[in-house]
Chain A
Amino acid sequence: MNNVYLPITVDHIARVEGKGGVEILVSDDGVKEVRLNIIEGPRFFEAITLGKKLEEALAVYPRICSFCSAAHKLTAVEAAEKAIGFTPREEIRALREVLYIGDMIESHVLHLYLLVLPDYLGYSGPLHMVEEYKKEIGIALDLKNLGSWMMDELGARAIHQENVVLGGFGKLPGKATLELMKKRLQEALPKAEYTFELFSELEQYGDVEGPITHLAVKPRGPYGIYGDYISASDGNEFPSEAYREHIKEFVVEHSFAKHSHYHGKPFMVGAISRVVNHSDKLYGMAKELYEAHKDLLRPTNPFANNLAQALELVYFTERAIDLIDEALAKWPIRPRDEVEIKDGFGVSTTEAPRGILVYALEVKDGKVAYADIITPTAFNLAMMEQHVRMMAEKHYNDDPERLKYLAEMVVRAYDPCISCSVHVARL
């Protein structure tokens, strides 16, 4: 029986979405246990929406998480539309993707500037940086406002977008607004590039370097959000519908969120996984930046996720402009098609800001008969725990405060969304 010292714990990790803690147990012969305690209460989303009207369930799902509510709404709506056998028009799909990109921009900016950057600049939080880093905070606010405004215009608001409905949108902005959106995206591009430069200079800790299996949705066209297949960095590819054959969820006792394994092992999803698996589908400025900085966008370090998000800020800013053009080419656009709510089953997999988001919905008599939702953070938890352990193994003899800090930084690099992870799925 080895002596286990007092655990090194962070009860509540700051500057992440949601409530979780880290616990590191050290004994005479090194690190014994590393646990990510997910302590936020479960909300049983799948269980409470069973038997409910489809439209009402679709209004409730985004409440799983505010940082990615548009991702939840759009993925749930796609799964529901697949279930009832409805395919939206091209221009509606394009505009939904623009809305999704608004979420992507807002979420990445929030994570990079407000949650991650303070660590590197030696601050406890972004509110202390306002005086010293006016330019950076200014850019963060500008880009954040752009993402929020895109969601306001296309989603009715930036958090919980009620304007996305079965069959399309409740109402669409006018042509002038879409033109203005393009203009604002063009103006934002240099700010996105500045963000990439800024983050390309930040340290990626070598302590957690090692092989990682990356999973990402294979985009239908260019690099992006929607897709019907999941690709793995081991060369595998499988249809979205078959996600349960490849990814197994299981309960761990120190967490309200389940863990997941791909073929029996932890894996990673998120911006870096998208870049690793689908860099060949990038284009424009982001493609050039990727080619020039490949060595920093390594598949072997979770800290590369921060830079990958910065790269995506550049990419998605340009991509949104092209998608708006695609929609404008079909102007005027009817916002909504009549849908008939038939029985059926549909699976949607999209790339939320933090990685693969899965919705599987069965619809019967206009009601939800089965729901399974798996969120990126739930996919990531096992891998995250492993990376925190690697960090602990290198630093357990350091000052505990230093280890806590480094462990938190690993968790922050993943940009976890703990509210998402505890929404909990059925077994």
Chain B
Amino acid sequence: MKGKLRIGFYALTSCYGCQLQFAMMDEIVQLIPNAEIVCWYMLERDSYEEKPVDIAFIEGSVSTEEEVRLVRKIRENAKIVVAVGSCAVHGGVQSWEKDKPVEELWKAVYGNATVKFRPKPAKPVEDYIKVDYRIYGCPPEKKDFLYALGTFLVGSWPEDIDYPVCVECRLNGHPCILIEKGEPCLGPITRAGCDARCPGFGVACIGCRGAIGYDVAWFDSLARTFKEKGLTKEEILQRMKIFNAHNPKLEEMVEKIFREVKE
């Protein structure tokens, strides 16, 4: 790699937690000599959205017309585009009611008042531009950033994790919240990488890293288990949709369980 790695960190509509997590790494001080921060408004006044970069980290969902223009511009200017966090990768919690028209949500909030900017339904970055790599989590773990950056710095790339939170939960020896407590833990369908952080605290996983890829998120099996524990179809869908509203397989797989012949 010639010269310094040119990095841009761009935010769309989000809570800024991914950037905060990135900014809060002590290791960032060691990164500075190897990188040139071209655009990072949160920490740098001399930021330029128009300039070319080697790596563009994008946080947030695309939620306004302006953001559509911005992501397209970033794609043109960047060698590598990385979607960072649940909003950028999966549309975020703001997609929870993605089937409700944005006009309806707008009315509930602003009434008939007009605002000169136009909101759009929240969508993942990938709905508008090609994304090369993804960093998962709400927020991602610090090691997720370090791993991705480390691979880029040596000219490689980050591999996706393809197993569920349960794997890490078992390795840690935590009691199973789903089986032992009967709580609706989403560990079985959620991408690992957090070291089963919440189950370690005795709290059921809410799926913040999003469903495992490669079509191995078995929404149907977990829905059947939840159904046996007394949850309704609506309750199951709502819980699974907090972080997976845009997942194309989720609804049909859950529906399937409720279409099965009643015994």
| Docked-complex contact B116 and A66, CB < 8 angstroms | no
Cross-interface CB contact of B108 among A65, A157, A170, A426, cutoff 8 Å: A426
| Docked-complex contact B138 and A158, CB < 8 angstroms | no
Is B208 an interface residue, CB under 8 A from the partner?
yes
Cross-interface CB contact of B111 among A59, A145, A159, A427, cutoff 8 Å: A427
Closest to A62 in B: B15
Is B96 an interface residue, CB under 8 A from the partner?
yes
Contacts of B106 in A (CB 8 A): 42, 44
Interface positions of B from 10 to 65, Cβ below 8 Å from A: 11-18, 20-21, 23-24, 26, 28-29, 32, 37, 40-47, 49, 61, 63-64
| Docked-complex contact A53 and B29, CB < 8 angstroms | no
| Docked-complex contact B242 and A160, CB < 8 angstroms | no
Closest to A418 in B: B16
| Docked-complex contact A127 and B119, CB < 8 angstroms | no
| Docked-complex contact B29 and A67, CB < 8 angstroms | no
4 nearest CB pairs, A to B? A41-B63, A66-B17, A41-B13, A251-B113
Contacts of B42 in A (CB 8 A): 14-17
A42 to B47, CA, bound (A): 24
| Docked-complex contact A41 and B12, CB < 8 angstroms | yes
What is the minimal beta-carbon distance from B81 to any residue of chain A, in angstroms? 19
| Docked-complex contact A171 and B202, CB < 8 angstroms | yes
What is the minimal beta-carbon distance from A372 to any residue of chain B, in angstroms? 11
- New contact pairs (19) apart from A60-B93, A114-B43, CB-CB < 8 Å: A14-B44, A18-B16, A41-B67, A42-B63, A43-B94, A48-B94, A56-B239, A66-B20, A114-B23, A127-B32, A127-B37, A156-B200, A156-B203, A158-B24, A170-B198, A170-B202, A253-B113, A253-B114, A419-B16
A13 to B41, CA, bound (A): 7
Closest to B46 in A: A124
| Contacts A/B (CB < 8 Å), 29 sampled | A12-B49, A41-B67, A42-B119, A43-B93, A44-B97, A46-B108, A53-B238, A63-B17, A66-B15, A66-B20, A118-B45, A125-B44, A144-B24, A148-B24, A156-B197, A156-B203, A160-B17, A160-B139, A171-B201, A171-B203, A251-B115, A252-B115, A253-B113, A253-B116, A419-B14, A419-B15, A419-B16, A424-B110, A426-B108
Contacts of B238 in A (CB 8 A): 52-53, 56
Is B76 an interface residue, CB under 8 A from the partner?
no
Is A126 an interface residue, CB under 8 A from the partner?
yes
| Docked-complex contact B45 and A125, CB < 8 angstroms | yes
A58 to B147, CA, bound (A): 31
Tally of contact residues, B, Cβ under 8 A: 66
| Docked-complex contact A63 and B15, CB < 8 angstroms | yes
Closest to B18 in A: A66
Is B132 an interface residue, CB under 8 A from the partner?
no
Contacts of B29 in A (CB 8 A): 130, 137, 141
Cross-interface CB contact of B64 among A41, A106, A169, cutoff 8 Å: A41
Tally of contact residues, A, Cβ under 8 A: 70
Is B117 an interface residue, CB under 8 A from the partner?
yes
Cross-interface CB contact of B208 among A65, A69, A124, A160, cutoff 8 Å: A160
| Docked-complex contact B94 and A256, CB < 8 angstroms | no
Is B66 an interface residue, CB under 8 A from the partner?
yes
Contacts of B28 in A (CB 8 A): 127
Contacts of A127 in B (CB 8 A): 28, 32, 37, 43-44
| Docked-complex contact B94 and A44, CB < 8 angstroms | yes
What is the minimal beta-carbon distance from A112 to any residue of chain B, in angstroms? 14
What is the minimal beta-carbon distance from A310 to any residue of chain B, in angstroms? 20
Is A39 an interface residue, CB under 8 A from the partner?
yes
Interface positions of B from 195 to 209, Cβ below 8 Å from A: 197-198, 200-203, 206, 208
| Docked-complex contact B119 and A256, CB < 8 angstroms | yes
A13 to B45, CA, bound (A): 8
